[in-house]
């Protein structure tokens, strides 16, 4: 269990928790801001345009994060308010993963800029590297075409035949199976590391 890291390496535990909370909160805010741009003011009306992680994640997600290293977020959106429902769904769904990708590349940029800086000793390179790694994994994971992940809503607009799956237990079953396969997480991590090594 992830909570064992708190005993073995409390600094790593705190870094992961902080990075995941920030990353998921910004991910959800990105969804909300793009929804607003598409004509849906639901995120604003329900108070979700905020940096408060409790609003985006809730206590359950925060507890799961600390115990099992698994977390999720939510952003209330009413797609019927979009000027173009199909385009709006694609843009809003893409915004979250894209936010994680941008965060990852920002961290990688900082790592490269500060590598030879005289101020390098004041920065935690491990923190920025871990942040880039986690955000790349979030980007890749959220693009999977499995409900309720963002990738499903993107692909279901391109391939409408997939839409009925969101009303079944397929997504829950598929995610449970993925989390039970250690190689899945290892695979995502390996791809993220490959990207990091390629850029850095």
Q: CA-based Rg of the chain, rounded to a whole angstrom?
A: 18
In the structure encoding, which two tokens stand for residue 190, read together? 């390996």
Q: Which of 28, 60, 121, 183 is catalytic?
A: 28
Cα distance between residue 24 and residue 32, in whole Å: 12
Number of residues written out for the chain? 200
Contact predicate 77/40, CB 8 Å? yes
In the structure encoding, which two tokens stand for residue 196, read together? 């990091």
**Backbone phi, psi, residue 51, to 5°:** -90, 0
Cα distance between residue 138 and residue 191, in whole Å: 12
Q: Is 183 a catalytic residue?
A: no
Contact predicate 49/75, CB 8 Å? no
Active site residues: 28
């Amino acid at each position: 269990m992830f909570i064992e890291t708190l005993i073995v390496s409390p600094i790593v535990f705190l870094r992961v928790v902080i990075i995941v909370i920030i990353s998921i909160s910004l991910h959800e805010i990105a969804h909300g801001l793009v929804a607003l741009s598409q004509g849906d003011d639901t995120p604003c009306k329900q108070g979700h345009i905020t940096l408060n992680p409790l609003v985006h994640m809730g206590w359950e997600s925060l507890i799961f994060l600390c115990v099992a290293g698994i977390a999720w977020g939510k952003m209330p959106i009413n797609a019927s308010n979009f000027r173009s429902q199909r385009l709006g769904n694609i843009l809003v769904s893409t915004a979250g993963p894209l936010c994680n990708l941008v965060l990852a590349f920002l961290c990688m940029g900082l790592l490269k800029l500060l590598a030879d800086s005289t101020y390098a000793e004041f920065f935690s390179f491990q923190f920025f590297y871990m942040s880039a790694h986690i955000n790349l994994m979030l980007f890749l994971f959220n693009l999977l075409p499995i409900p309720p992940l963002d990738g499903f809503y993107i692909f279901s607009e391109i391939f409408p035949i997939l839409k009925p799956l969101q009303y079944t237990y397929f997504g829950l079953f598929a995610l449970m199976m993925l989390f039970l396969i250690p190689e899945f997480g290892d695979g995502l991590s390996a791809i993220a590391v490959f990207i990091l090594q390629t850029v850095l």
